[in-house]
C-alpha cells in the first residue's frame, strides 16, 4: 500500500507533464476545429453547390473513419506523402483538429440555421455585404448558441487525445503506460490517469459553462 502511494507520488510530476501535453493537443485541436468548422458551416449554409458538396464529403470522411485509423493514415501515410515531416505531437493536433472540425461544423451549422432569417435580411437592407452580416450579426449569435455542443465536443476530443499515445506522443496515457510497465503498479497508475482526464474534463466544461453565462444575451431564452 505504502509502495503504491510512493509510486504514484513519484510519478505524479511526470504524469502532470503528460497532462500539459494532453491539454496542448486538445487546445490545439479544438482551435483548429473552431476555425475550420466555422468556415465550413458558413460555406455549407451560404456557399455555392460546389463548396457545399466539398464540405459534405469532408464531413462524411472524418465522421466515417475511426480516429485511430486517421492517426495512422495521416502520420505514417499522407503527411509523409505531402512532404511534411511532423512530430507526433503536431500530427496528433492536426488529425484531431481536422476530425473535430467535421463535428464542430455541424454544431455551428445547426446554430446558424436556428437563427431567425429576418436578421440577415435586416442587415442586408442596411447595406451590409453578406460577409459583414455574417461576421457582425450571424456568427456572434450562432457561436453563443454553440457553446453547449462545443463543450460536449471538447470532452470527446479530450478523451480521443489518449489515442495519440499510439504515435508516441508523450501525453497522459503514454506516460502512465510507461511507468506502469516499469513498476508493475498498473491499477493505481491507470486510476491516476483516469482521474487526470476526469479533472481536465471537469475544468474545461466548467470554464465553458462560465463563458456561456458570461455571454448570455439579457432577457433571451433560447
Partner 1 sequence: MTESKEPILRVENICKILGGKKILDSVSFSLQRGELKVLIGPSGAGKSTLLQCINFLIPPDKGQVWLEGTEIRSRRKRDLYAFRQQVGMIFQDFNLFDHLNALENVAIALRKVKKMNRQAARDRAVAELDRVGLGDKLGLFPAELSGGQKQRVSIARALAMDPKIMLLDEPTSALDPELIGEVLSVIRDLARGGMTMILATHQIGFTRTLADEVLFMENGIIIERGLPAELLSPNAGTRSRDFCSRLDELYAEDE
**Cell numbers linked to 181:** 510497465
Total of chain residues touching partner 1, rule CB under 8 A: 23
- Which region among 16-24, 64-72, 139-147, 155-163 touches partner 1 (by CB under 8 A)? 139-147
DSSP, res 129: -
CB 192 within 8 A of CB 7: no
Q: Which of 118, 184, 213, 214 binds partner 1 (CB under 8 A)?
A: 118
For position 48 contacting partner 1 by CB under 8 A, the verdict is no
The CB-of-212 to partner 1 minimum distance in angstroms stands at 14
Cα dihedral sign for 74, 76, 81, 86? positive
Chain CA centroid to CA 187, Å: 29
- Which region among 26-34, 58-66, 196-204, 211-219 touches partner 1 (by CB under 8 A)? 211-219
Centre a 10 Å sphere on the Cβ of residue 153 and count the other Cβ atoms it contains.
21
Q: Provide the phi-psi class of 115: left if phi over 0, else alpha when psi is between -120 and 50, else beta.
A: beta
For position 156 contacting partner 1 by CB under 8 A, the verdict is no
Residue entry with cell 455551428: 108
Considering the complex, state which of residue 182 and residue 216 has its C-beta at the smaller distance from partner 1. Answer: 216
Q: Which of 1, 2, 81, 125 binds partner 1 (CB under 8 A)?
A: 125
Q: Which of 17, 39, 52, 144 binds partner 1 (CB under 8 A)?
A: 144
Q: Which of 132, 182, 206, 210 binds partner 1 (CB under 8 A)?
A: 132
For position 121 contacting partner 1 by CB under 8 A, the verdict is yes
**Cell numbers linked to 78:** 499522407
Chain CA centroid to CA 69, Å: 17
**Cell numbers linked to 51:** 463548396
Instruction: Give me the residues that bind partner 1 (CB under 8 A), please.
Output: 116, 118-119, 121-129, 132, 136-137, 140-141, 144, 217-221
Amino acid at each position: 500500500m505504502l509502495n503504491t502511494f510512493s509510486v504514484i507520488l513519484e510519478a505524479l510530476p511526470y504524469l502532470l507533464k503528460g497532462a500539459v501535453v494532453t491539454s496542448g493537443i486538445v487546445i490545439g485541436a479544438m482551435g483548429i476545429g473552431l476555425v475550420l468548422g466555422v468556415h465550413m458551416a458558413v460555406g455549407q449554409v451560404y456557399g455555392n453547390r460546389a463548396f457545399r458538396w466539398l464540405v459534405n464529403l469532408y464531413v462524411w470522411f472524418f465522421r466515417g473513419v475511426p480516429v485511430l485509423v486517421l492517426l495512422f493514415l495521416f502520420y505514417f501515410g499522407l503527411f509523409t506523402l505531402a512532404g511534411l515531416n511532423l512530430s507526433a505531437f503536431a500530427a496528433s493536433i492536426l488529425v484531431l483538429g481536422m476530425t473535430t472540425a467535421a463535428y464542430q461544423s455541424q454544431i455551428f451549422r445547426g446554430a446558424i440555421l436556428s437563427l431567425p432569417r429576418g436578421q440577415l435580411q435586416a442587415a442586408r437592407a442596411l447595406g451590409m455585404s453578406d460577409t459583414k452580416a455574417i461576421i457582425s450579426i450571424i456568427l456572434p449569435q450562432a457561436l453563443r448558441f454553440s457553446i453547449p455542443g462545443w463543450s460536449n465536443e471538447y470532452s470527446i476530443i479530450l478523451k480521443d487525445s489518449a489515442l495519440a499515445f499510439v504515435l508516441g506522443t508523450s501525453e497522459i496515457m503514454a506516460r502512465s503506460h510507461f511507468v506502469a510497465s516499469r513498476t508493475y503498479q498498473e491499477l493505481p497508475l491507470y486510476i491516476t490517469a483516469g482521474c487526470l482526464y476526469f479533472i481536465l474534463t471537469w475544468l474545461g466544461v466548467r470554464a465553458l459553462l462560465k463563458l456561456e453565462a458570461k455571454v448570455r444575451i439579457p432577457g433571451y431564452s433560447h
